[in-house]
Amino acid sequence: MREIVLDTETTGFEPDTGDRIVEIGAVELVNHVATGNVYHQYINPERAMPDGAFQVHGLGDDFLKDFPVFRQIGQAFLDFIGDDRLVIHNAAFDMKFLNAELDWMGLPRLPMDRAIDTLAIARSRFPGAPASLDALCRRFGVDNAARTKHGALLDSEILADVYLELIGGRQPTMSLVSQGSGRRTEDGPWKPTPRPRPLSPRLTEAEAASHAAFVDGLGPDALWRRTR
């Protein structure tokens, strides 16, 4: 099972008023394990704040002006996420901006039902408690010391750890309790395979002889003789 944990940084809060995405970060999980495969892109928003010095999350006009605009990287982003589920904190916000950018490119929108909203999960699990990413890091002991400024890739990496805690621990597939229809691999239901090298016997010769003598004493109709 492949999932994409992602985050965006934007110039503001509303694409309808001209705000744009300036950064996308995404982390690939396969069977709830980070693979090391990531997507990270700074984006020229093609706009500036009224004072001409666009500043957001430590990024400014001078830094962003040489990066591609969204229409130049949109297809590469879609290729990375494929058709897999998207794990996003406050999914409605990021999906609103991503779909606005895709609309402007004439590409299909991302359906909301593809998004797993970790904010909604946190509010459901801990009603009334703070549910920001920083608050969840404190709750679960996730190290966010490097998060002095928002950054899409760093936030995605942190969110991946938080997400795994929210759904039951950082190694949920290690559970020995069957969940749903059972364990699965990328190729389908998990099936046991023969051990490549049999375990060496732990029964000593003396113990084997003692057991044989015990069975002999039970007579010819002993259960041990019928099941061997």
Strand pairing partners for 86? 4, 115
Q: Measure CA 73 to chain center.
A: 22
150 tagged catalytic: yes
Catalytic residue among 32, 57, 150, 211: 150
Q: Are 86 and 118 in contact (CB under 8 A)?
A: no
SS3 category, 173: helix
HSE at residue 42, side-chain half, CA atoms within 13 A, is: 14
194-200 LR contacts (CB < 8 Å, sep 24+): none
What is the length of the chain? 228
d(CA 32, CA 161): 10
Active site residues: 150
